[in-house]
């Protein structure tokens, strides 16, 4: 009976992938190693964090802020990404939050560029090898306006109050309220919260329903671009009032 049982025993299952790998290994030239097979259970590496592909201008002097904002007004820019930073003192009460210290305006300059006078200002490339051009031929730029030291110049106030320049931000409402409270007389017009736009998108409704209206920048980036945004908490909670930002 033993030979009969042995004959009826099922043969060992060998996957097509393993069989093909074994055949390739036998046919390899002498001294050459076979490629290592990665198990199918191992998932692909996660997507790399999204990074800014462009150059930025840090303005620490009122003249620099004025020149940058004047060029933005004359350059026909109609949409900017808007964000603010301020110092957190880690203490109880209203004194925990410092005055708005930094304004960030990100945008794509028209293909013709902005005012040529900006070329004399201290632009910084995040990576010299990264192409700064957008799909329409314009250039991706970011103004970092250190208003803790420069204050609000006339052209900056005009940019903020302009109804022809839309300011897009994540949870931008509280930022606008804080800026107008920190600087008396300042008005911010055409501020659009990306969270509200995302809440109306069919993809968001299909995933979260109609209940969710608050998102972080990382949430929106993963949802619509498939890539995370690396925001270091040490930087966000750092001292934005220092003359030299790191």
pLDDT digits (tens, 9 = 90+) for 111-160: 766 765 676 777 776 555 455 566 666 778 899 999 999 999 999 999 99
Domains, the chain: 55-236 (3.30.420.10)
CA angle 123, 237, 234 (to 5 degrees): 80
What pLDDT score was predicted for residue 5? Answer: 44
Q: In the prediction, which pLDDT does 141 show?
A: 87
Distance CA 14, CA 227 (A): 38
Look at strands 79-88 and 97-109 and give their pairing.
antiparallel
Q: Which has more pLDDT, 203 or 61?
A: 61
Select from 125, 122, 114 the least CA-distant residue to 60.
Answer: 122
Q: Tell me what pLDDT residue 22 has.
A: 63
| Percent residues over pLDDT 70 in the chain | 71
């Amino acid at each position: 009976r033993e030979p009969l049982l042995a004959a009826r025993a099922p043969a060992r299952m060998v996957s097509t992938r393993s069989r093909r790998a074994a055949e390739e290994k036998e046919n390899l030239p002498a001294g050459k190693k076979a490629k290592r097979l990665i198990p199918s259970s191992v998932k692909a590496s996660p997507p790399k964090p999204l990074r800014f592909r462009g150059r930025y201008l840090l303005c620490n002097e009122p003249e620099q802020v004025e020149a940058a904002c004047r060029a933005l007004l004359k350059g026909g820019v109609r949409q900017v990404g808007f964000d603010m930073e301020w110092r957190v003192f880690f203490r109880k009460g209203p004194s925990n939050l410092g005055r708005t210290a930094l304004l960030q305006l990100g945008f794509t300059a028209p293909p013709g560029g902005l005012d040529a006078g900006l070329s004399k200002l201290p632009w910084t490339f995040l990576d010299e090898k990264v192409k700064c051009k957008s799909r329409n031929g314009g250039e991706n730029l970011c103004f970092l306006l250190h208003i803790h030291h420069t204050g609000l110049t006339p052209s900056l106030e005009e940019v903020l109050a302009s109804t022809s320049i839309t300011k897009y931000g994540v949870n931008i409402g509280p930022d606008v309220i804080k800026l107008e409270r920190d600087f008396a007389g300042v008005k911010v017009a055409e501020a659009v919260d990306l969270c509200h736009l995302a809440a109306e998108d069919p993809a968001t409704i299909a995933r979260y329903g109609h209940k969710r209206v608050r998102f972080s920048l990382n949430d929106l980036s993963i949802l619509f671009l498939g890539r995370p945004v690396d925001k270091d908490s040490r930087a966000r909670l750092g001292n934005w009032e220092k003359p030299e930002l790191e």
